[in-house]
Amino acid sequence: MVKFNWFTLDNGLRVIVHEDKTTPMAVLNILYDVGARDEDPNQTGFAHLFEHLMFGGSVNIPSYDEPLQRVGGENNAFTSNDVTNYYITLPAVNIETAFWLESDRMLSLAFSEKSLEVQRNVVMEEFKQRYLNQPYGDVWLNLRPLAYKTHPYRWATIGKELSHIEEARIEDVKAFFKKHYNPQNAIMVVGGDVDTEDVKKLAEKWFGPIPAGNKYTRDLPQEPEQLEARRETVTAKVPLNSLYIAFHMAARIDEEYYTTDLISDLLSRGNSSRMYRTLVKDKQLFSEVHAYTTESMDAGLFIVDGKPVAGVTIEAAEAAIWEELEKLKNEMVAVDELTKVKNKTESTMMFSEMSLLDKAMNLAFFELMGDAEMFNIEVSRYLGITPQHIQRQAQQLFTKQNSSTLIYLAE
Amino acid sequence: MLDRTLTPEFNPIEHIKLIAPGHIKLENDCNLYWFNSGEQELVRIEWIFSNLRFDPAKPLLNIAVNTMLNDGTNSLTGAQIADAIDYYGAFLQVDYGFDHSQVTLYCLNKHLKHTLPVIKDILTQSIFPEKELNTFIRNQQQKLQVSLQKNDFLARRAFNKALFGGTMYGISPDIEDYAKIQRDDLLKHFKLMYQPNNCTMIAAGKIDDDILKEITLHFDKDWTNNSIPDITQPDFTEAEQLFNYIEKPDALQSAIRLGTKLINRTHPDFPALQVVNTILGGYFGSRLMANIREDKGYTYGIGSGMSSMKYSGAIFIATEVGADVTRQAMAEIEKEIKILQTELVSEEELSLVKNYMLGSLLGSLENVFSHADKFKNVYLSGLDFEYYDRYTEVIRNITAKDILTLADQYLNFDQFYRVIVGKY
């Protein structure tokens, strides 16, 4: 149970305070409601490039990192297809420095040409390091456009191609800031050794004067129902063949998400999971196999991937995966097995409450989904799931018509 | 009117308090340390064993024994072990390191009575079934095939081999080495290494008397020593060639790793060298990051680090840079090291680094597990908590002149091992 207080500033900034006196540290987490899905199809990778530019100095403070390090703090950020999240951890006695830094860059950036030029290069190197210069690094660059034809999830957070980043101009950066970076599109969580009243005062002082800006209204083209199986084979410089099957699934906020998430646990969480035991250990068809969901805000993907053992054909490997999926559709899961994955979910939640930063990020994320309080009832949403729910969900998910299969063949 | 150009006042970082562990020595000579704190009814328990003397002819023995600990015992199959652990929402991890290897259990307190007997079984009765061994060999070979196509993996491996060849620290197995693993060797190795007199248990979480009793009850009975294990290690065979270039004609980026052997944590200069390392490449605002990423844009990331092992230590710089700027990046790294040796660090930079390091130390004490980790760092190096007092004292008092002297004494760039995988 994570307790918190909640208030909103006049300019629309939502603030959540989680007092945790067991630590001498504090966290300030700001989530901006913008991700790669909000990008122009001709300017992909922009939300993420922009995240880099947020560290290039703000309107009144030339360096973001330096003053924070000086007071013993650290920070980082990440961008996904859905959101952009920035966080600071620092000794709680110096929390005001975090307010000062974060409010100034919400007010306005320095928009330096030099910063844009350097970060364009840095991001292009990131593109190479993570997506191009690694075996299987470009899986998502291939799988997303196979599974999505309409929704902006069809491109990866890093962007469709290097050229989109290369061509980013300072005017685009300014326009992006104006559209997405204002109090109405942000959620701030302050946690750790802090008092709500102090946080209120600091929030009013530093964030209160920031103009509300315009509320961005998201209106994205939704993915139509997939009507036939899709398939793509890539021959690549990889050492082993590899197989990926993507199925369209419900959005993160949907009730169906929880059932689907448990299905991925049944299939591949831990050494007792079905696919690990059957496909890796018993039948020895795969050296590794995984099932997971993208946990997306809009309708997401359920992925099964694996690397067949040398000598096992792609057809045999694929058939073995489908056999496991069919079993979920045709046979009711045993109560014990279902209890097992529920227990795992419950203990995972308890262990994650050991981390202040995890708690802060989760509160922001659930607030974005509608209500931070949902974080506290998350476990109960899993506990209510029955074998019937699992079966029904599996029947809905695992059809050829709903599948996009990507094969990597070793050159 | 709010003046946003002014830095808010800030406070020095004080009151870094470490939780001291409780300690008992079990009748079989296994040392148990425990940390009792936290609100959640859960624990993390580690069983840590010193590695046996490394045998270069059988380099994968230690790794295979550790990794296969959950693959079956006299009374439980691998599947039954997995069922028992997963059913109770627990997590069982096995990890091997340069000096120690361990088993870790994460578990809610209410389920310990079901999971501890499984760990006991693993530590006393593992049998490494032949079929599981074959699966292990095949899967590890496949994993290695993938890793061998990653430039940063190749660079790390070549670097470690150059510094620490012929020992666990410099291990760089080939695909064929896996096929040579024999079950008999595993059984022998297991019997020698996983004994109570070679084990330290560290438990952290909400540990009241009942939980403590539960833990000791399982591990001081029916677990006996059969010999004194040999945990000495052979000497390193250092490579003669300092420069090692592995060409990858199609590389978009080159992986660079360079550095040298260094003192370890037990040496009085270690904390001060950590300050030197932090300035050079140990945090986001470091000189390497500021120059090579934030000014030149050659890389997504560059950093330096120090490793402290039982019998040696190292300092290294690692990065992946655009293939076309490999030479420039190398030149800039060399330049930054030379600057550390010839120019005094400004007071402004030094005070920032000091505060940053103290803040990091404070921030690294997030929960009871982190306190246990801090203890583990010093305990396994043969030190105690005084190390952290000395560490904070050194950070507070170190001068620009000290930094220069240390950089000059320890960072001899001309003697650095340099590995490049990609283009040069």
DSSP string, B316-336: EEEEEEEGGGHHHHHHHHHHH
Q: How far is A98 from B297, CA to CA, in rounded Å?
A: 27
The CA distance from B230 to the nearest CA of chain A, in Å, is: 33
**Contact A65/B285, CB-based, under 8 Å?**
yes
CA of B194 vs chain A CAs: smallest distance (Å): 23
Please check whether residue A263 is in contact with residue A307, taking contact to mean a CB–CB distance below 8 angstroms: no
Q: Is a pLDDT exceeding 90 seen at residue B15?
A: no
The pLDDT tens digits of the residues spanning B56-86 come to 999 999 999 999 999 999 999 999 999 999 9
Of A127, A121, A131, A114, nearest to A166 by C-alpha is A121
| Whole-angstrom distance, CA of residue A188 vs CA of residue A18 | 11
3-state secondary structure at position B78:
helix
Q: A131, A64 in Cβ contact below 8 A? A: no
CA distance A59 to A57: 7
pLDDT (tens digit per residue) in B374-411:
999 999 999 999 999 999 999 999 999 999 999 999 99
- Sheet with A5-8: list strands edge to edge: A5-8, A14-19, A186-192, A25-32, A84-91, A74-79
- Identity at B192, one-letter amino acid code: L
Which chain A residue's Cα is nearest to B12? A71
Q: What is the dihedral of CA A295, A296, A302, A306, to 10 degrees?
A: -70
User: Would the CB atoms of A74 and B369 count as touching at under 8 Å?
Assistant: no
Cβ–Cβ of A73/B359 closer than 8 Å? yes
B297/A122 Cβ within 8 A: yes
Answer whether B352 sits within 8 Å of A70, measured CB to CB.
yes
Residue B38 pLDDT > 80:
no
Bridge partner residues of A188 (DSSP): A15, A30
- Among residues A148, A306, A133, the alpha carbon closest in space to that of A236 is found at A133
Which chain B positions have a beta carbon within 8 Å of A53's beta carbon? none
Q: Which of B78, B138, B295 sits opposite A309 (nearest CB)?
A: B138
Tell if the CB–CB gap between A97 and B363 is shorter than 8 Å: no
- The pLDDT value recorded for residue B39 is 81
DSSP B267: S
Nearest to A346 among B82, B89, B356 (CB): B89
Q: Mean pLDDT for each 10-residue chunk of chain A (411 residues)?
A: 96 97 94 97 95 95 95 96 98 97 97 92 92 93 98 96 92 94 97 98 98 95 97 95 98 97 97 97 96 98 97 97 98 97 95 94 97 95 97 98 97 88
Per the DSSP assignment, residues forming a β-bridge with A79 are A84
Cβ–Cβ below 8 Å for A74 and B82 = no
Distance from CA of A360 to the nearest CA of B (A): 14
- Which residue do the tokens 């860059």 mark? A105
Nearest CA distance, A91 vs chain B (angstrom): 6
Give the one of B42, B70, B369 whose C-beta lies nearest to A350's C-beta. Answer: B42
Sort out which chain B residues have CB atoms less than 8 A from A136's CB and list them: 146
3-state secondary structure labels for all residues of chain A: CCCCEEEECCCCCEEEEEECCCCCEEEEEEEECCCHHHCCCCCCCHHHHHHHHCCCCECCCCCCHHHHHHCCCEEEEEECCCCEEEEEEEEHHHHHHHHHHHHHHHHCECCCHHHHHHHHHHHHHHHHHHHHCCCCCCHHHHHHHHHCCCCHHHCCCCCCCHHHHHCCCHHHHHHHHHHHCCHHHEEEEEEECCCHHHHHHHHHHHCCCCCCCCCCCCCCCCCCCCCCCEEEEEEECCCCCEEEEEEECCCCCCHHHHHHHHHHHHHHCCCCCHHHHHHHHHCCCEEEEEEEECCCCCCCEEEEEEEECCCCCHHHHHHHHHHHHHHHHHCCCCHHHHHHHHHHHHHHHHHHCCCHHHHHHHHHHHHHCCCCCHHHHHHHHHHCCCHHHHHHHHHHHCCHHHEEEEEEEEC
H or E stretch at B389? helix B386-397
Phi (first) and psi of residue B6, to 5 degrees:
-90, 130
CA distance B400 to A130: 38
Half-sphere exposure of A22 toward its Cβ, with a 13 Å CA cutoff? 16
B118-163 pLDDT, tens digit each: 999 999 999 999 999 999 999 999 999 999 999 999 999 999 999 9
Q: How many CB pairs under 8 A join A and B?
A: 224
- Which amino acid appears at position B91 of this protein? F
- Write out chain A residues lying below 8 Å of B41, CB-based: 350
Instruction: At A213, list the tokens.
Output: 């800006």
Q: Do A71 and B355 touch (CB under 8 A)?
A: yes
Query: pTM score, two decimals?
Result: 0.94
Q: How far apart are CA B308 and CA B267, in angstroms?
A: 10
B356 CB neighbours in chain A (<8 A) are 69-70, 72-74
Region B37-41 average pLDDT: 85
Q: B355 vs A69: CB contact, 8 Å cut-off?
A: yes
pLDDT value at residue B14: 82
d(CA B94, CA B83): 16
Q: Are B296 and B328 in contact (CB under 8 A)?
A: yes
pLDDT of B221 over the 90 cut: no
Chain B residues touching residue A102 (CB < 8 angstroms):
none
Who among A73, A133, A346 is closest to B151 (CB)? Answer: A133
The answer to whether the Cβ–Cβ distance between B40 and A350 falls below 8 Å is yes
> Which residue of B78, B300, B355 is in closest CB contact with A72?
B355
Inter-axis angle of helices A335-352 and A374-383, to 10 degrees?
Answer: 160
B232, with CB counted inside 10 A (0-12, 13-18, 19+), is exposed
Chain A closest-CA separation from residue B178 CA (Å): 15
Residue of chain B minimizing CA distance to A266? B86
